[in-house]
Structure 1
Amino acid sequence: MPRPLWTGAISFGLVTIPIKVISATEDHAIHFHQMHLSDMGRVRTRKVCDLDGKTLSQDEIGKGYEVAKGETVPITDEELDRMPLPTAKAIEIVAFVGADTIDPVRIADSYYLAGDGQVAAKPYLLLRRALERSDRVAVAKFAWHGRERLGTLHVREEAIVLHVMHWPDEIRSPESLAPKEVELDDNEIEQAVQLTETMAADDISGFRDHYREALEELIEAKSEGKEAPGPAEGAEQESGKVMDLMAALNASVEAAKDSRGKDDGDATVHTMRARKKTPAKRASAKRTTAKRATAKKSTAKKSTAKKSTAEETRAKGSATKKSHAKKAAAGETAAEKRSAS
């Protein structure tokens, strides 16, 4: 299990649920170092005091708030911990609202809430079952990283998930970003709707980070002294060309239909060339192929043995039938001879 980021409790009315907060996501991005181009020396960020020019360690650094020009008030971690805040070590549920009333723009990071010890098992299950049977989500307040935050509690599979939310005053208004009114033909709208239906998907779990895969391929090639791979076929698009909107919609619908036909229902419209397997993956693939070949041989041997056994059984049955037929014929002949005499 990943290291908990925070420990505390969920306050649910008079019910207290000890929990551990665990990140619900992982960072798979590729990170670069800053390097000095002339000698490839590492460039690091140092924390330097602007008064004496000394490089400081983390133990020498504290918090302060500038109340006026040249006047800073120091604030210690102990003073922050002693603040009379009810949500200092608790995720306090303050309301339950409909899930469809939450603006997606307000959702930030997500975290799993794990029960902390056996004492948390029953109240944790109680809250989870209540959320599962209700069409509402819990709205909670909690203090984290020096500030009070707002969040919602949902259920994902068998875990309670905390979605951190922005406060209403943190959301910018998009009013100034809206485009000016223009004339739009109904046929263009209908074609756009048809494009959405053509590209509709029930499952998006198959989408992959193609940029990261291409970046890994670039790093692998450079580390082996090979030439950097070129752009994928069809990746370069002509820029600056004004295209008729209706023609673009028609072409998009046809491209989506062709992609669906080739991918057998895959929702991905744009494809990239497959990434080469690493040596470890190639070795794993060889082992898998060998196992499959062994399994096929074993299955073939078993099938041959079964056929041989079945043929022997049929042969024995045929011989038995012939023996019975001979005995019956011999009995009839003996009976005829006795009757004649």
Structure 2
Amino acid sequence: MPRPLWTGAISFGLVTIPVKVVSATQDHSIHFRQVHLEDLGRVRTRKVCELDGEALSQDEIGKGYELSKEQTVPITDEELDRIPLPTAKAIEIVAFVDADSVDPIRISDSYYLAIDGKVAEKPYTLLRRALERSDKVAVAKFAWHNRERLGLLRVREGAIVLHSMRWPDEIRSPESLTPREVELDDDEIERAVQLTDSMALDSIAGFRDTYRDALEELLTAKSEGKELPEPAEGEEQEEGKVVDLMAALNASVEAAKESRGEGEEGEGEEGEATVHEMRPRKKTASTKTASSKKPTAGRKAAASGKATGQKAGAKKTTAAKKTAGAKRTARKRSAS
């Protein structure tokens, strides 16, 4: 089990459930370090006081709240611990609501709640069964890092998941960002709905981070002294170009049908659906199988990949002709 980030208890009415909190997600991003270009030495950050310019050690650094540019109030951990916070060591369930009533924009990080000892097995199972049978999610309060937070509890594959949520006043209104109302034909709306239907999937499990795959191949090539992969070709978008919306929708629907192997009547063999960007079909990015350890970098467009395949095929054909010619020459010499 991953290292617990926090230990405490779930407070469910008068029921207490000892739990450990572990992260439900993993970061697979590739991280770079800042280095000195001359010798590739690591660049370190020194903590320096801006008043006297002295470098400080960790035991010389504390907390402070800046009231103004001229006044800062120092605060200690002991003073923060004195703040009355009933949720300091408990995830306190305060309500149960329908999952649809929670706007996803409020959800932040995700964590799994694991039992902390055998004594928690029965009450943990009780809460899980109650959530499953009621078909609701629990709203809770908890405090981490000297801050009270709002949380949401739900069940995923037999485990209780805690999602930290933002407070209502932390969500910005999109009012100033929405475009003005425009007139749309019913045909345009219906065609857009057809496009959504043609791109529908039962699951998003097959999506991959293709940029990370390409970056891994670039780093592998550099570390092994191999030729670097060629940059991927992309479509250049013309700025300010007026688009025929209906024509674009029709082309998108047809392209989506073709990618699924459907004919003009929408019939085709059943199989795994593929998803790609709706771009002109002459440049469709290739994908890499999930079983391969080394990624394929610099995803070339299909046209480029086809050209490469033709060159490779031409080389093989030439080699085959030379081999056949050599064999005929050898037979003639043997006969003579």
Aligned to 1:20: 20
> Between the two proteins, what is the percent identity of the paired residues?
74
The alpha-carbon distance between structure 1 residues 184 and 62, as it changes in their structure 2 partners (threshold 3 A), is same
Per-residue deviation, 1:66: 1.7
SS of equivalent residue, structure 1 residue 42: coil
SS of equivalent residue, structure 1 residue 21: strand
8 Å Cα contact 1:210/1:272 also seen in 2: no
Aligned to 1:6: 6
Structure 2 counterparts to residues 88-107 of structure 1, below 5 A: 88-107=88-107
Per-residue deviation, 1:83: 1.7
SS of equivalent residue, structure 2 residue 216: helix
8 Å Cα contact 1:81/1:88 also seen in 2: no
Distance in 2, matches of 1:226 and 1:182, equals 54
Structure 2 counterparts to residues 127-138 of structure 1, below 5 A: 127-138=127-138
Per-residue deviation, 1:173: 0.2
Aligned to 1:200: 200
The alpha-carbon distance between structure 1 residues 191 and 231, as it changes in their structure 2 partners (threshold 3 A), is farther
1:268 pairs, out of 275, 280, 288, with 275
Distance in 1, matches of 2:230 and 2:19, equals 49
Distance in 2, matches of 1:71 and 1:96, equals 44
Distance in 2, matches of 1:236 and 1:227, equals 25
Distance in 1, matches of 2:252 and 2:32, equals 36
Distance in 2, matches of 1:203 and 1:181, equals 33
SS of equivalent residue, structure 1 residue 258: helix
The alpha-carbon distance between structure 1 residues 242 and 40, as it changes in their structure 2 partners (threshold 3 A), is farther
Per-residue deviation, 1:273: 3.1
Distance in 1, matches of 2:131 and 2:64, equals 41
Deviations 1:153-209 (A, max 9, x none): 000011100011000000000000000122212111111100000000111111111
Per-residue deviation, 1:275: 4.8
* Residue identity in the other structure for 1:28: H
Structure 2 counterparts to residues 61-100 of structure 1, below 5 A: 61-100=61-100
Distance in 1, matches of 2:94 and 2:63, equals 31
Deviations 1:92-134 (A, max 9, x none): 0011111110001000010001110111111111111100101
Distance in 1, matches of 2:106 and 2:61, equals 33
Per-residue deviation, 1:146: 1.7
Aligned to 2:178: 178
Aligned to 1:236: 235
8 Å Cα contact 1:200/1:267 also seen in 2: no
8 Å Cα contact 1:204/1:267 also seen in 2: no
Distance in 2, matches of 1:110 and 1:181, equals 37
Structure 2 counterparts to residues 36-55 of structure 1, below 5 A: 36-55=36-55
SS of equivalent residue, structure 2 residue 67: strand
Aligned to 2:302: none
Q: Show structure 1 runs of 5+ residues with no match.
A: 280-341
Per-residue deviation, 1:144: 0.8
Aligned to 1:303: none
* Residue identity in the other structure for 2:286: R
**Superposition TM-score, scaled by structure 1 size:** 0.77
The alpha-carbon distance between structure 1 residues 278 and 203, as it changes in their structure 2 partners (threshold 3 A), is closer
Per-residue deviation, 1:265: 3.2
Aligned to 1:150: 150
SS of equivalent residue, structure 1 residue 190: helix
Distance in 2, matches of 1:274 and 1:127, equals 43
Aligned to 1:305: none
**Superposition TM-score, scaled by structure 2 size:** 0.78
Per-residue deviation, 1:224: 1.9
8 Å Cα contact 1:137/1:152 also seen in 2: yes
SS of equivalent residue, structure 1 residue 164: strand
Per-residue deviation, 1:9: 0.7
> Normalized per residue, which structure has more helix?
1
Distance in 1, matches of 2:242 and 2:59, equals 58
Distance in 1, matches of 2:15 and 2:110, equals 23
The alignment covers a number of residue pairs equal to 279
Structure 2 counterparts to residues 113-132 of structure 1, below 5 A: 113-132=113-132
Q: Which moved more, 1:123-132 or 1:32-41?
A: 32-41
Aligned to 1:162: 162
* Residue identity in the other structure for 1:103: D
SS of equivalent residue, structure 2 residue 256: helix
Deviations 1:243-275 (A, max 9, x none): 211121111111111211299332412464345
RMSD (CA atoms): 2.1
Structure 2 counterparts to residues 284-303 of structure 1, below 5 A: none
Q: Show structure 2 runs of 5+ residues with no match.
A: 263-269, 278-283, 295-336
Aligned to 1:214: 214
